[in-house]
Amino acid sequence: MASTPLPPASTPSSGTSTVAIDLGDRSYDILIGEGLLQNPATFAGLPKSSKALIVTNTTVGPLYTAALRAAIAPHHKAVLDVELPDGEQHKDWPALNQIFTKLLEEAADRKTVLYALGGGVIGDMTGFAAACYMRGVPFVQVPTTLLAQVDSSVGGKTAINHPAGKNMIGAFYQPQRVICDLATLDTLPQRELLAGLAEVIKYGPIADAEFLSWLEAHMDQLLARDRAALKHAIQRSCEIKAWVVGQDEKESGLRAILNYGHTFGHAIESGLGYGEWLHGEAVGAGMVMAADLSTRLGLIDEATSQRIRALIARTGLPVTAPDLGADRYLELMQVDKKAEGGEIRFVVIGPLGQAGMRPAPESVVRDVIAFHTR
């Protein structure tokens, strides 16, 4: 596991909380609170430029672009925006090129700041565009979904999908700041909230058994969108991810544990076609499969595996995966980023609150797939 101990959970507070990502000269803060998006003070100290570009989508843009534009206007002479189509199926080259086209049409220079306003798809594509345009311009994450606030906006992973594999084309490129405004979750559809809870739940089995117990005790409040419960869940998730990313920015070892459930989950997304299942839905079923794999490998007992499954089921997330056929699952998992030399490697738990990477016999993987698909 890690070379430094996991920091204890912060004391819950009602004000704005800050979680620091320690990466030397690429360090930045995650701000978590209410009313941040519309407050100019939130953006103090960020790079100023003659132009800024808000990248959003057709769902989020009408809700929040005007407020964000007004908040960042004091820091830029001109604030532009581009609205991309909404959905995982649009996390591709044509949508990415819309960002580049806008930047080129507006003669954006290398000091232009990009603002990613939306969920994980927008955050990933905006970060990738920022990494590529003029070989790197600054960008700011303003995630508006629970999944993006607890996972995809943090840590500098940027990418687009390819029909043959999810997130296989991208770059590590850190934002200048991450701004998690809890108020944006009020407009989040319930299905998207549940998808975000999958990424919250994963932090318990892989890093913090006490957090898993807290989630079991407070799941009803989270499902009811209790603001204090959501804030604690987001903050603890970000603290754990900051701890991991600070030690392994480019996923050479420890950071891979953040992909618990994702090897199976990415296969589900790719196999069904992007957008059929939400990312968090696929990860939810994937975590159930990965917990069972951990049990079959003798790393955790059956009761622990069932405990994880029960919590995921309580959220309403799927705990049974679609039947793509074992051969198709194995084919898709071969192009997973964690595969090495053609060998599929899985994030497994053992004991609860710790995780690692290891291959598994194909016969055992086939048994897991057969048991959990329909």
Residues marked active site are found at 135, 157, 199, 241, 251, 255, 259, 262, 266, 279
Gap between the Cα atoms of 127 and 182, Å rounded: 22
Gap between the Cα atoms of 150 and 23, Å rounded: 18
**Nearest to residue 287, comparing CAs of 316, 318, 256, 332?**
318
CA distances from 367 to 18, 290, 292, 340, 372 (A): 44, 12, 10, 22, 9
**Nearest to residue 79, comparing CAs of 66, 68, 69?**
69
Backbone angles phi, psi at 162, to 5 degrees: -130, 145
Enclosing H/E stretch for 18: strand 17-21
Residue position matching structure tokens 């309403």: 316
Span between the terminal Cα atoms of the chain, in Å: 35
Please check whether residue 357 is in contact with residue 257, taking contact to mean a CB–CB distance below 8 angstroms: yes
Enclosing H/E stretch for 31: strand 28-33
